[in-house]
Amino acid sequence: DYRDPHCKNKQVIVHLFEWKWSDVADECERFLGKKQFCGVQVSPPNEHVVVTQPMRPWWERYQPVSYKLHSRGGTEAEFKDMVTRCKNVGVRVYVDSVVNHMAGLGRIGTGTAGSHFNSSDYDFPGVPYTRPNFNTRDKCPSGGGGVDNYSDPKNVRNCFLVGLTDLDQSKEYVRDKIAEFFDHCIDLGVAGFRIDASKHMWPDDVKAIQDRVKDLPEGGRPFFYHEVIDQNDGAVRVNEYYDLGYVTEFRYCQKIAYGVHNFGEFNNMYVPSWGMADPSHAFVFVDNHDNQRGHGGGGNLITHKTPRDYKMAVAFTLAYNYGFTRVMSSYYFENTDAGPPHNADYSAKDVTINADGSCGNGWVCEHRWNPVANMVVFRNAVAGTDIKHWRNENDEISFARGQKGFFAMAKQGHMDRNLQTGLPAGEYCDLVSDCMKKITVDGSGNAHIVIDNSAEPMLAFIVDGPT
């Protein structure tokens, strides 16, 4: 089974999008460990192209040049130091892995680790890959050679996605090179992988690769989650990948946006008839690095640009019991191509921390917002429990998680009710406000729940939590 994230039953990972390795390491030590995060998804750590038109976009990292671990994020030594320091505080690293393809057709030059490459000749000596390692036109049923028909799996998987040179994962040599890359990461302490563009690879090929990857040094199979954008709009469906780990559930991004905009929709978050992944395979998030900027489908979704809605969306996601959760941590952008905040030489700027705990230098750090960070503790505490005492009316939602926690949220920012919590009698305090609010549960499980406009529009408390 590829669904164990190897983080001692913690439940939430954060994508520190485009952070450099030294900053990720610092964040593990100063924040993520204490806040009980399971781990971090890091941007692709392997050698990639250097794009100068536009100047150093974020997406240059989705055009690999080799599997040498030297990227815009840092050197291999820095990567190794990060993985070790994070692991030492109980936070695992998950590598965003781009193995469907190499650089885009027509790109020629030197990658971030110094390897020469020539995509037009299918020549990537840093691996090495040559022409026979790539898909050929006879396997791709599209007129122009590019992916252009999502109703045909052969087109989706054997053609070139936005002109990116498409590897042929049915070849033993290609499988070996990709597995070697994963093994190298595992040797350095990595616990798992996000597989980019899994939809564009055959599940049998992906399985052959995963099955030859080594166990973690501490035992067990690495964690895998697959990027499969299935919005009921094509031939490739998420359930084809269930044997391979978790699958991204992009319909949840729409669902949570509907819910925040109209609380009534919260009654209907997981819709099997839409083909949504079952709760034990769904990998869920409010937004990701693509759809927050209109790439990879985009659509109607909520991002940090509307902070109040975003906090409600993430808080609900972490309180609810659907799927394995990832939270996004972004940088501010106007241009959808723009890479991370950068210095004059285009290296990523340091992530600075302000006195109030927010980030500086252009980093958003949604994962540090109280309704995000503190709900991680909630989700860990209630893992494995069912939803009880569901109430959704009057733009107010509240529910218990088994007999371990209780969550309430008010769209209009105010709520004042006596509610059954199902929890043992006692004094509790609200995690979201860092215990600024207290809640008393009486002998019959009832509590007076108050939300008012002076604070965040939600509260949450757990058995055996802070008091």
Interface residue list for ligand LM2 (CB under 6 A): 59, 62-63, 98, 104, 161-164, 196-197, 227, 290, 295-296
- String of DSSP letters for 198-216: GGGS-HHHHHHHHHTSPPP
The single residue among 10, 200, 404, 411 that binds Ca ion, judged by CB under 5 A, is 200
The single residue of 23, 166, 205, 227 carrying the catalytic annotation is: 227
Asked if 374 contacts 36 with a C-beta cutoff of 8 angstroms, the reply is no
Shortest gap between Cβ of 57 and ligand LM2 (angstroms)?
Answer: 7
The answer to whether residue 196 is catalytic is: yes
Partner from ligand LM2, Ca ion, none binding residue 166, C-beta < 5-8 Å depending on class: Ca ion
Nearest Cα neighbor of 297 from 230, 242, 199, 238 is 230
Nearest distance from C-beta of residue 290 to ligand LM2, angstroms: 5
- Distance (Å, rounded) from C-alpha 207 to C-alpha 243? 8
Instruction: Tell me the three state secondary structure of residue 13.
Output: strand
Task: Give the CB-side neighbour count of residue 376, counting CA atoms within 13 A.
Answer: 26
Whole-angstrom distance, CA of residue 288 vs CA of residue 291: 6
107 or 404: CB nearest ligand LM2:
107
The item of Ca ion, ligand LM2, none sharing an interface with residue 425, based on CB under 5 to 8 Å by kind, is none
**60 forms part of the interface with Ca ion (CB under 5 A):** no
In the bound state with ligand LM2, the residue whose beta carbon lies nearer, of 291 and 361, is 291
Q: Binds 296, which of Ca ion, ligand LM2, none (CB < 5 to 8 A, cut-off by type)? A: ligand LM2
Neighbours of 290 (CB within 10 A): 18
Q: Is 25 helix (H, G, I), strand (E, B) or coil?
A: helix
Which residues touch 211 (CB under 8 Å, ≥6 apart)? Answer: none
Residue number with CB closer to ligand LM2 (104 or 371):
104
CA 287 – CA 310 distance, rounded (Å): 9
Residue 227 interaction partner, one of Ca ion, ligand LM2, none, beta carbon < 5-8 Å per kind: ligand LM2
- Assess 166 for contact with Ca ion (CB under 5 A): yes
Comparison of 247 and 284: residue with beta carbon closer to Ca ion: 247
- Measured from the CB atom, the residue of 7 and 236 that comes closer to ligand LM2 is 236
In 3D, which of 267, 313, 298, 286 has the Cα closest to residue 411? Answer: 313
Partner touching 196 among Ca ion, ligand LM2, none, CB below 5 to 8 Å by kind: ligand LM2
Q: Which window, 10-18, 106-114, 150-158, 301-309, contacts Ca ion (CB under 5 A)?
A: 150-158
What's the closest the beta carbon of residue 209 comes to ligand LM2, in angstroms? 16
Residue nearest to ligand LM2 (CB): 104
Catalytic residue among 23, 96, 166, 196: 196
Tokens 């009880």, residue located: 388
Q: Please identify, using beta-carbon distances, which residue of 205 and 396 lies nearer to ligand LM2.
A: 205
- 226 interacts with Ca ion by CB under 5 A: no
Task: Tell me the β-bridge partners of 104.
Answer: 164
CB of 294 to ligand LM2, least distance (A): 9
**Binding residues for Ca ion, how many (CB under 5 A)?**
4
H or E element at residue 389: strand 387-393
CB of 83 to ligand LM2, least distance (A): 22
Q: Which does 290 bind (CB under 5 to 8 A by kind): ligand LM2, Ca ion, none?
A: ligand LM2
Instruction: Identify which of residues 155 and 330 has a Cβ nearer to Ca ion in the complex.
Output: 155
| Residue 196: both structure tokens together | 């980019």
Distance CA 113, CA 86 (A): 24
Given the rule CB under 5 A, which of 39-47, 97-105, 145-153, 433-441 is the region that contacts Ca ion? Answer: 97-105
Please state the closest distance from residue 169 (CB atom) to Ca ion, in A: 7
Quick one: which of 400, 432, 225, 258 has its CA closest to 320?
Answer: 400
- Nearest approach in angstroms of CB 234 to ligand LM2 is 13
Q: How far apart are CA 48 and CA 68, in angstroms?
A: 9
Residue 68 or residue 200: which is nearer to Ca ion going by CB? 200
Phi-psi region of 139 (alpha: psi -120 to 50; beta: other; left: phi over 0): alpha
Compute the least distance from the CB of residue 298 to Ca ion, in Å.
22
- Among 211, 241, 223, 196, residue whose Cα is nearest residue 11: 223
67 within 8 A of 117, measured Cβ to Cβ: no
What is the spatial distance between Cα 191 and Cα 122, in angstroms, rounded to a whole number?
31
18 belongs to the catalytic site: no
Residues annotated as catalytic (active site), given as ranges: 196, 227
Provide the binding-site residues for Ca ion, judged by CB under 5 A: 100, 157, 166, 200
